[in-house]
Amino acid sequence: MATHAQQVTTVDILPQEDPACLVFPYAKTWPRAKNPSAMTQTTDHNQILFDRAKRVIPGGVNSPVRAFKAVGGTPRFVQHAQGAYFWDANDQRYIDYIGSWGPMILGHGHPAVVRAVQEAVLEGFSFGAPTEREVQLAEEILRLMPSMDMVRLVSSGTEAAMSAIRLARGATGRSKLIKFEGCYHGHADALLVKAGSGLATFGNATSAGVPPEVVQHTLVLEYNNVAQLEEAFTLYGKELACLMIEPIAGNMNFVRASIPFMKRCRELCTQYGALLVFDEVMNGFRVALGGAQSVYARHLPGFEPDMTVMGKVIGGGMPLAAFGAKRAVMELLAPLGAVYQAGTLSGNPVATACGLATLREISKPGFFEDLSRKTRSLVDGLKAAAAAEGVPFSADSEGGMFGFFLLPELPQNYPQVMKSDGKRFNHLFHGLLERGVYIAPALYEAGFVSAAHTEEDIAATVAAAREVFKSM
Ligand code: PMP
């Protein structure tokens, strides 16, 4: 490692007097110590920021779901975060169940991660030349997910999924692909698709600006529908480059691919020579240390996907994602092979430091057992609170990821998820928000518990939910 970082140490750049400052240097000087209860409309700093933002950023946000469009109201502008909490522009504290949509599995500002990032920053922000930490991170990912022999690091889940599809097409010489309704794999053109009117019609673009020719090779199927899957392979199996799936779909809240369904996905891909691509951007290193693939392997011995797409936790909150597969497939990538893929900031030295420190923490013995227990206790608590107030409710979790529905039974696919009553969800969302609990502002999004959430946080969340359930 560079000697420069050894000379300029972490503590040199931080205030010394208060140990808390080592973790969050602005803690003492935070500018807006206001009394939220004395707030008037004109002193709502979230609203002031949102109005300013809307003048210069489309919808005031840099990713659509942040705009609160589904639930209404004013998005909270985060000023700082620590552990299981963040504070908004009014200095209001929230228990955070989004955790940057999954990456913050250790909570915000974990000391080991902060230190690793600070040290990396001193060595340099970006070089456009290889670094040792990229090798270490690749080795660590492969150790935790042995289905892959090699990985390539990129900067976002979108980029990883898009590149995985190009590689699958390059490896098979085929064009068609299967995705499932309700699964999200980022916003690459070929993946912004909804089902056509039947298996013969292929997909329709879900976004303006995506030409029909670009999605004509994407077949969108119903999640957990074995009969339809078999029909699709009978019709198109020999033309399929890959089948891409979120194994535990977090983009329709929380829906597990059933074991028989996943078994058929594996068998049919093998039979027809299509690649089974697991999108573990959300699931990976979050539902279990070995990702969702390790969860399915518990039920289906020897189970492995052919390719894995990763993101979120592997960057620990910094822009970092990856895709990987067996050596023969990965060696088709440039510079070795004919499938082109590249990135100025790929394997960024600060992001890799953040990701590595995060993976090291979550690899410690007992980490996932504790996280799973805590997440399960949240889900059980919410179920009991809903039952006590007579509210139809179902919920599920795996590792540190959870989902709940204002429906009596867990849904199995996207049409069933969308039977949820949006108005009732919005009531729950705003009721929790008022009580200092921040869940995803849309009913089709998953939730995340971190190692920093305490039993007290969980109990406070359940108590808040019970109050809201009572009013429903
Ligand atoms: N795949 C899955 C399963 C995701 O949940 C997401 C983002 N939520 C993506 C891909 C895209 O990742 P990114 O937002 O980093 O582009």
Å from CA of 339 to ligand 1 middle? 22
- Confidence (pLDDT) at 40: 56
Specify the CATH number of the domain 112-362.
3.40.640.10
Residue nearest to atom 14 of ligand 1 (CA): 157
Residue 471's pLDDT is: 96
Mean pLDDT across the stretch 11-27?
42
Write out pLDDT tens, residues 73-131.
Answer: 999 999 999 999 999 999 999 999 999 999 999 999 999 999 999 999 999 999 999 99
**Residues whose CB falls within 8 Å of the CB of residue 264, separated by 6 or more in sequence, listed in order:** 226, 229, 230
Q: In the predicted model, what is the mean pLDDT of residues 329-350?
A: 98
How far away, in angstroms, is 41 Cα from ligand 1 center?
Answer: 35
Count of C-beta atoms within a 10 Å radius of residue 351: 27
**Residue nearest ligand 1's atom 5 by CA:** 282
Provide the pLDDT for residue 200.
Answer: 73
* Distance (Å) from CA 28 to ligand 1 centroid: 35
Measure 158 CA to ligand 1 centroid, in angstroms: 6
CA-atom Rg of the chain in angstroms = 23
Residue 41's pLDDT is: 53
CA 471 from centre of chain: 31
Closest residue by CA, ligand 1 atom 13 = 157
The answer on pLDDT for 28 being more than 50 is: no
Ligand 1 within 6 A of 445 CB? no
The Cβ-side half-sphere exposure at 67, using a 13 Å CA radius, reads: 13
Band (409; pLDDT cuts 50, 70, 90): very high
pLDDT of 44 strictly over 80: yes
Supply the mean pLDDT for the chain. 92
The CB of 282 under 6 Å from ligand 1? The reply is: yes
Which is nearest to 223 in space by CA: 197, 256, 174?
A: 256
Residues annotated as catalytic (active site), given as ranges:
184, 279, 312
Ligand 1 contacts CB of residue 101 (under 6 A): yes
Does the pLDDT of residue 172 top 80, yes or no?
Answer: yes
Centre of ligand 1 from the C-alpha of residue 160, in Å:
9
- Average pLDDT for 327-353: 98
Protein residue with its CA nearest to atom 1 in ligand 1: 185
Q: Which atom of ligand 1 is nearest to the CA of 280?
A: 3
Residue 3 C-alpha from the chain's centroid? 35
Cis ω for the linkage preceding 335 (within 30 of 0): yes
Q: Confidence band (pLDDT; 50, 70, 90) for 201?
A: confident
| 148-163 pLDDT per residue, tens | 999 999 999 999 999 9
Angle at 132 between CA 140 and CA 130, to 5 degrees: 115
Residue 30 has a pLDDT of 44
| Residue 287: per-residue pLDDT | 98
Quote the pLDDT of residue 198. Answer: 76
CB distance 317 to ligand 1 below 6 Å:
no
- Work out the average pLDDT over 21-37: 44
How large is the average pLDDT for residues 21-27?
A: 43
**What mean pLDDT do residues 422-430 have?**
97
Centre of ligand 1 from the C-alpha of residue 312, in Å: 8
Q: Which atom of ligand 1 is nearest to the CA of 63?
A: 14
- Which has more confidence, 14 or 468? 468
**Burial (Cβ within 10 Å: 0-12, 13-18, ≥19) of residue 142:** middle
Residue among 62, 159, 180, 185 to mutate when testing ligand 1 (max atoms within 8 A of CB): 185
Question: Out of 1-5, 150-154, 459-463, which region has the weakest mean confidence (pLDDT)?
Answer: 1-5
